[in-house]
Structure 1
Amino acid sequence: MPVYFFWGADEFRMKKAVKTLCDRNLDADWSSFNYEKIPPEQSDAVMQGLNQAMTPPFGMGKRVVWLADTSVCQRCSAALLAELERTLPNIPDSSILLFTSGNKPDGRLKSTKLLKKHADIREFATIPPWKIEQIEHQVYQVAKDVGLQLTPAAASLLAEAIGADTRRLYNELEKLKTYWVEPKVALPPDAVTDLVATSTQSSLQLAAALRQGQTDRALTLITELLERNEPALRIVATLVGQFRTWLWVKLMTDSGERDTRTIAQAADVGNPKRIYFLQKEIRNVSLPQLKSALKLLLALEYELKRGAPETVTLHTKVMQLADCFRPI
């Protein structure tokens, strides 16, 4: 298929996919003639891209036309839609037309429906920090890409240390591959502990401290997270996700549900076996406490998005959140 649409917030993975696509289709000796990246600020960018894609390549290899940061799936004029309808089905096999965007395509638009019909659409979304199983699965995938075997314990340590940061994950795995001289033997956890800087401060640890009513520890963690330049809204997103998961697990458990698969589905937990540990975490927490915490977190997110000062606002809300769970 000569048309591709890549989208998502994980720019690093997307750029690697773009490079792979170019390397596979461009002839190195003729790439300067057959490769063109068209930025979004260029006038009539999509029209130019369509015209270029219809032009035969010069010399060997294929022609690659990249429409970067396109908004064609967020807004599309009638004239542009008509041109897309005319051109996309007729892109020659000697060309590759690539659209990329950080935004999710609007499924209601005719341009999106058209691309779904004629393009290979790939998502490069950042995995939420609380989805541990998905992060560990990504660790295994990237390790396979770089040619490194991991023990389950090593993969778990990497997931905890790096989270969903794919750029750092690739860098750390390449470093571990250079260090590990036995490629046929799975990398042990000791190597990860010795070579990968593992931060003891994470947003998930902050969530645990808040759930336990540990105000001092929570304030220390939020300060250290901010000092490491962790974006405030990302911290809040992790907390919202974790407390929402706890809330659903508590709600389903208190309602008498015993099937872990049903609870996992309601709480959006990929591995039903994890429900036991989540239930254990919130055994001494009440449903009203979790509801109050989530309400405070959503208020915090609203204030930050309206431009409230990050440090003061976070510290204030952290104290209020920890107070929700303080033993009476």
Structure 2
Amino acid sequence: MPVYFYWGEDQFRLEQAVKNLRQQVVDPLWESFNFEKFAGEDAEAVQAALAQVMTPPFGGGDRLVWLVNTTLGQRCNAELLADLELTLPQIPPNCHLLLTSTQKPDSRSKAVKLLQQHGNIQEFSPIAAWKTAEIEQQIREAAQRYQLHLPPEAIQLLAEAVGNDSRQLHNELEKLALFAGDRPLTAEDITTLVHATQQSSLTLASTLLRGDTATALSQLEDLLLQNEPPLRLLATLTKQFRTWLWVKLLSHERDNQRIAKLAEVGNPKRVYFLQKEVNAVALPSLQACLQILLATEYQLKLGAEPVATLRQGMIQLSLACSRRSWGDRSGGADN
């Protein structure tokens, strides 16, 4: 089918899919005539794209029309819906319409149902950081594309080093492929060549929950060296601590399905592990952590110096977890 909808926050994999589709259908000699991009959030641009995709390609190869950052997956007025209903079934087989978005399409939308009927919707979301088995499988598949033979310990080391960052993974595999040549790589090669400082915000959150201030500050430095935006880092921490707070609040509940729904945890099987993580942490500690995160975000938005503000916030979070969980175990002094 000549209609494609790519969505998800894993921009590297999504960009690779767009690149592959472009190479597959567009003749590079005629690309300036047969490849066009339109702003997907602008109604007039969407209408122009739909008109353009009905135009036969010029010269060799097929035509590709790309709607970038489209909002059709979330909202679509009656006029645009009518245009889609008229255009999608009539697109010539040598013309292709590509829509991309970071947001998940709303399956209840008539426009999305229409796109499902006439096209291919594909997700490009990052693997959850805690799904180590899936991350390792992604590494195996990517290594095959680079014709790399990685032993199990090397795959585990790579998973620890790059996490769910697919762009970083492919950068490291490209470097390893140049180094390896035709010989198999060893765990020692991975340790030497891959700088294992790819700390994720979720790893930092777990360290803060344990009250390990020194390690948390070190991981924060790693994240800042990787140009992690401070507000995005705080957003991840806030989401994780809010999840932990919900799980702690629902500790009396025995139905993991219900806990997962209320805590907005996608996989109910993950609830068991979340409960273990917060078992030794007092409820007031998690409540205090959300207050600290909110105050830190407020200071940053007021223009406070990011590094010093984040360091102070991480120290406060770590101390809140360690002090309050200690009080909880020694008789509830902080409760």
Q: Normalised by the size of structure 2, how large is the TM-score? A: 0.77
Equivalent of residue 190 in structure 2, options 188, 192, 197: 192
Give runs of aligned pairs for residues 157-306 of structure 1, distance below 5 A: 157-182=157-182, 185=184, 187-199=185-197, 202-240=200-238, 243=241, 279=276, 285-288=280-283, 291-292=286-287, 295-296=290-291, 299=294, 303=298
Give the 3 Å change call, closer, same or farther, for CA 200–19 of structure 1 in structure 2: closer
Change (3 A) 1:227 1:70: same
Q: What is the alpha-carbon distance in structure 2 between the residues aligned to residue 114 and residue 216 of structure 1?
A: 53
User: Which whole-Å CA distance do the structure 2 matches of 1:41 and 1:242 have between them?
Assistant: 31
Aligned to 1:88: 88
Change (3 A) 1:255 1:242: same
Q: Secondary structure at the match of 1:85?
A: helix
The question of 1:318 aligning with 2:318 is answered: no
Q: How does 1:91-130 map to 2 (within 5 A)?
A: 91-130=91-130
CA distance in 1, matches of 2:253, 2:10: 39
> Retained in 1: the 8 A contact 2:10–2:126?
yes
- SS of the counterpart of 1:44? helix
- Provide the rounded CA distance (Å) in 2 between the counterparts of 1:289 and 1:146: 50
In the aligned structure 2, how far is the partner of 1:234 from the partner of 1:128?
16
Percent sequence identity over aligned pairs? 44
Q: Kindly report which structure 2 residues correspond to 1:20-169, keeping only aligned pairs within 5 A, or say none.
A: 20-40=20-40, 44-169=44-169
Q: Which whole-Å CA distance do the structure 1 matches of 2:44 and 2:317 have between them?
A: 50
> Quick one: which amino acid aligns to residue 27 of structure 1?
D
Q: Deviations over 1:169-207 (max 9, x none)?
A: 112101111222346x4x322111111111175535533
Instruction: Evaluate the alpha carbon distance shift between residue 84 and residue 278 of structure 1 in structure 2; reply closer, same or farther with a 3 A threshold.
Output: same
Distance 1:276 1:47 in 2: 48
**What is the distance in 2 between the residues matched to 1:140 and 1:262?**
35
Query: Unaligned stretches of 5+ in structure 2?
Result: 328-335
CA distance in 2, matches of 1:131, 1:240: 20
Per-residue deviation, residues 264-310 of structure 1 (Å, max 9, x unmatched): 9999597979968984x666x13426633653466358637855634
Query: Given that residues 8 and 124 in structure 1 are in contact (C-alpha distance below 8 angstroms), is that contact kept between their aligned partners in structure 2?
Result: yes
Is contact 2:296–2:313 with CA below 8 Å preserved after alignment? no
Query: Residue 300 of structure 1 contacts residue 313 of structure 1 at CA under 8 Å; is this kept in 2?
Result: no
Shift of 1:61: 2.5
Query: Secondary structure of 1:30's partner?
Result: helix
8 A Cα contact 1:247 1:287, kept in partner: no
